[in-house]
Amino acid sequence: MRSLLTGTALGGVLGAAAVGFAAMAWPQEDAGKPEDPRTATYQQIELFAEIFARAQRDYVVPIDEQEAMSAAINGMLMSLDPHSGYLDPEDFQSLQVQTSGEYGGLGIEVTMEDGFVKVISPMDGTPAAKAGIMPGDYITAINGKPIIGLTLNDAVKEMRGERGTELEITILREGIDPFQVTLVREVIQQKSVTWRTEPGDIGYIRVSTFNERTTLLLEEALDGLSRGPKPKGIVLDLRNNGGGLLDEAVKVADHFLSGGEVVSTQGRRPVDVERRNASKGESFKGVPMVVLINGGSASASEIVAGALQDRERALVIGTTSFGKGSVQSVIPLGADRGAIRLTTARYYTPAGRSIQALGIEPDLMITQVRLTQEELEKIERWSEADLPHALQNETGEARKELRMPDEQPPEGYEGEDFQLERAIQMLREGKTSASRMAAKAG
């Protein structure tokens, strides 16, 4: 378990088996005794077997029995929350390839909403990113075929294919008419960490996802920064990082902390508590640090940002993160049976905060574009809280409404990345500690 999402005869056999099971499992209740709550569940299983047999016998064309059963299983799991689901053997293999850091496709983190595929974030350097696909975009059709009716796994399969082959997707974006984008599939070799030194000896580290190679690549980045003059500050960029492996998130945070808690997880039972702590030792201890986040920062990236924020190791700037505060375990079901991706725990920052459906609030809210109050009110909010069947935060707290930022680009701004520019400027001027204290006071 890994943390992270024939013929008529069969119908008769399945129905008979269910009825037989019911007869064995349901001793007759004595009059006056309360009904066993499990009885209703067993009756639903019997009902399902009857419906399956009827569809098998009477549907206008023969049904694909395996596909129908997979859809039924997946429908049950997807009704629990947006991140649970069934992975058939092919999907399970694809997931293993994806977390290894290399696979064929377009390079986007997606979810399903209102029957369409919704983009959480494009991955750096991929066909999707190069084509200008943005967080919050809806993909409504693939090669002219509407997505409505497909599962998320089926839609992802449609978008993957041989390197060099073309694919047309239809994009629905707020405020403009739907449009088509033609992409060329590539082998997605996720270089999940890139780095450089900015003028003024500021180290910049970009982590775009958390896969099996992230920690190794981060260590190479830190080694590269250590070969030159000691950095006067470090920017850790987690914007549009849709998450990934929990273990990798813990290891990344560990590099910037000296002991103490990184994250804790709480399962269904009170005893199902696990705490992940940092080891002793810390890269560039005492060097001021800024973490960049935005609405595309989700899950594992929120764990890192939350840990460094709570432990007062870094100033977090940008916009509120996505708000996915749950842990999915991938549970193999045995040979040729695939796996299930099941939400098994919530995670908590070192201060005990659950960010499920809330997100990480930055210490300093800075936008990439200049907004008026009128424009702000027209923005369609999208986050974990807005997904169908999303888990609520157990505190009952709701995600904060959009507000005017603390800082935004000045009128006539012609730069490329205002958030990053401000992060570098604050590090050069030594203002991160003062900004953190002001944020706490505010």
pLDDT score of 15 more than 80: no
Two structure tokens written together for 190: 């996720």
DSSP letter at 12 equals H
Distance CA 415, CA 189 (A): 29
Contacts of 424 (CB under 8 A, 6+ apart): 198, 200, 202, 204, 233, 235
pLDDT computed for residue 102 by the predictor: 57
What's the pLDDT band for 364 if we cut at 50, 70, 90? very high
Give residue 438's pLDDT.
66
- Local structure of 344: helix, strand or coil: strand
Which of the residues 121, 324, 354, 363 is marked catalytic? 324
pLDDT at 23 (0 to 100) = 32
Catalytic residue (one of 94, 208, 299, 301): 299
CA atoms of 221 and 193, how far apart (whole Å): 8
Confidence grade of residue 101 (pLDDT, cut at 50, 70, 90): low
| Residue of higher predicted confidence among 101 and 315 | 315
Q: Is 301 annotated as catalytic? A: no
The span from the CA of 123 to the CA of 120, in Å, is: 10
User: Is 4's pLDDT higher than 70?
Assistant: no
pLDDT at 7: 31
Give the chain's domains with CATH numbers.
2-26+36-78 (no CATH), 102-188 (2.30.42.10), 190-441 (3.90.226.10)
**Dist CA 11 CA 54 (whole Å):** 8
What's the pLDDT band for 122 if we cut at 50, 70, 90?
confident
Mean pLDDT along residues 246-259: 96
* Catalytic residue from among 237, 254, 310, 363: 310
* Range 69-87 average pLDDT: 92
Average pLDDT over residues 348-372: 96
Active site residue 431: no
Instruction: State yes or no: pLDDT of 317 exceeds 90.
Output: yes
For the segment 187-196, the average pLDDT, to the nearest whole number, is: 84
User: What would the mean pLDDT of 28-56 be, rounded to a whole number?
Assistant: 81
CB 179: neighbour CB atoms within 10 A? 10
pLDDT at 434: 65
Average pLDDT of span 182-206: 91
| 88 band by pLDDT with thresholds 50, 70 and 90 | confident
pLDDT greater than 50 at residue 27: no
Q: pLDDT tens digit string along 263-287?
A: 999 999 989 999 999 998 899 999 9
Q: What angle separates helix 418-429 from helix 432-441, to the nearest 10 degrees? A: 110
Q: Output the average pLDDT for the chain.
A: 87
What pLDDT score was predicted for residue 409? 97
CA–CA separation, 58 vs 44, rounded Å? 21
pLDDT value of position 362:
97
Quick one: pLDDT band at residue 14, thresholds 50, 70, 90?
Answer: very low
Q: Does 103 have pLDDT greater than 80?
A: no
Give the residues across from 365 on adjacent strands. Answer: 318
- Answer whether residue 104 shows pLDDT above 80: no
Question: Which whole number is the average pLDDT over 417-439?
Answer: 87
In this prediction, residue 168 has a pLDDT band, given cuts at 50, 70 and 90, of: very high
pLDDT at residue 118 greater than cutoff 60: yes
Residue 230 a catalytic site member: no
Q: How much is the average pLDDT of 59-87?
A: 93
pLDDT score, position 10 = 27
